[in-house]
Amino acid sequence: MLQSGAIQINQLVKRFGDFEAVAGIDLQAPPGAFLALLGPSGCGKTTTLRMLAGLENPSAGEIYLNGRLVADGLRGTRVPAGQRDAGMVFQSYALWPHMTIYKNVEWPLKVRGWRGRRRHERVRQVLTLLDIDALADRYPGEISGGQQQRAAIARTLGPNPKFLFFDEPLSNLDAKLRTEMRSELLRVHRLSGATSVYVTHDQVEAMTMATHIAVMNQGHIEQLGTPRQLLQHPQTPFVANFIGTPPANVLRVQVQGGQYIYKHLVLGQAKGKDVNQTLLLMYRADDLRLRFEPGARRLPVALAEITPVAGRAIVTVWDNQQRLNVLVDHLLDGADHRDYFVEFPDQPTIVYKSDYDRYAFPNTVTDALSMRQPKVLP
């Protein structure tokens, strides 16, 4: 089979006993790509990354790195982790505490037979690249978490790997540092020329960093695309509801008498074939309007929270079944109004026919009930 691209995964499966953690995924990424594996906790991201890195054997399927078959379901690992030309960075920095930062970075080079001046210069080079050359003689316990993560990245970059595998590397950092490190990691990725695979549950992180994103859910890939493709053409309701700031709204409706019905509202005319079934309607936050009096296609809601964004606001409301995000053009005070309604457009933006029950929606009843009480002020 002709393999193009730096990463090619065919029908990859990983079982733990009866449980399929990775349920037959296909994935491709070109050389130099920054591929994010994005999805909620437990969807199989780490397991996929560990198979790529050679730390776990696939139960079925194939993995090619740069056209080379490195693992398959029949023979397991064909190319061991140490020979895949890959470096891995984890959430925990896993630096050796008894070695200085210099020694930590030097170690993998030593193991690979780099010697003398060449080794010394490479250590200095990556320490400078990560802006931690001044910390060379410190021990990991003597520097901050952010600096430790830089040291861990420097150590990984030393041998110049063709692949960089990251597993939630920024999760332990505070919000401001996390934002800084995003650009830092991107810079490192570009300078290294490596193909990177980056595991995260944070869609903002994936959307801001990745060239390609695989959205994962329950061991499956929901969609593989560029950030723009995922935003503009979410192929499944899960993707629509997971991607974007804020994510799109997905509403479960019944088709009755040729109309989409949600509670007492008619939300559009159904297509000819859609009769007597449950469908999912998608509306982006800016497809909806916030209103303060009842009217046609207006749903009474309670105010949950207001998030200012660049002079506008995302207003989150709920109706005891479902949270909805509405983008409004001006800042709004919670105290401004007594009653809130969401007005729907004539027709939904996207209609999904997928099986609703496969999806664990963050926006449905259980989650809405566990939200703090809506703060509707008198």
Instruction: Tell me if 92 contacts ligand ADP by CB under 6 A.
Output: no
Choices 40-48, 100-108, 129-137, 356-364; region in contact with Mg ion by CB under 5 A: 40-48
- For residue 216, the SS3 value is strand
Size of the site for Mg ion (CB under 5 A): 1
**Footprint of ligand ADP on residues 14-33 (CB under 6 A)?**
16, 21
Instruction: Tell me if 217 contacts Mg ion by CB under 5 A.
Output: no
How many CB atoms are closer than 10 A to CB 234?
A: 27
- Which partner in Mg ion, ligand ADP, none is near 169 (CB below 5 to 8 A by kind)? none
Instruction: Tell me if 45 contacts ligand ADP by CB under 6 A.
Output: yes
Instruction: Tell me if 42 contacts ligand ADP by CB under 6 A.
Output: yes
* Whole-Å CA distances, 317 to 7, 80, 244, 257, 356: 42, 51, 17, 29, 22
Report which of 269, 233, 273 is spatially closest to residue 253, judged by C-alpha positions: 269
Report CA torsion sign: 54, 57, 63, 68: positive
Q: Which is nearer to ligand ADP, 16 or 292 (CB)?
A: 16
Q: Which is nearer to ligand ADP, 21 or 285 (CB)?
A: 21
Figure out which of the listed residues 46, 223, 316, 363 binds Mg ion, where binding follows CB under 5 A: 46
Instruction: Tell me if 360 contacts ligand ADP by CB under 6 A.
Output: no
- Which partner in ligand ADP, Mg ion, none is near 43 (CB below 5 to 8 A by kind)? ligand ADP
Report which of 180, 187, 241 is spatially closest to residue 39, judged by C-alpha positions: 241
Figure out which of the listed residues 9, 33, 35, 44 binds ligand ADP, where binding follows CB under 6 A: 44
Residues 6 or more apart in contact with residue 289 via CB below 8 angstroms: 326, 342, 343
* Distance between CA atoms of residues 358 and 361, nearest Å: 9
* Distance between CA atoms of residues 78 and 229, nearest Å: 35
Q: Which is nearer to Mg ion, 46 or 217 (CB)?
A: 46
Report which of 359, 374, 277, 279 is spatially closest to residue 324, judged by C-alpha positions: 374
- Which partner in ligand ADP, Mg ion, none is near 292 (CB below 5 to 8 A by kind)? none
Q: For binding to Mg ion (CB under 5 A), which residues are involved?
A: 46
- State the residues that interact with ligand ADP by CB under 6 A: 16, 21, 39, 41-47
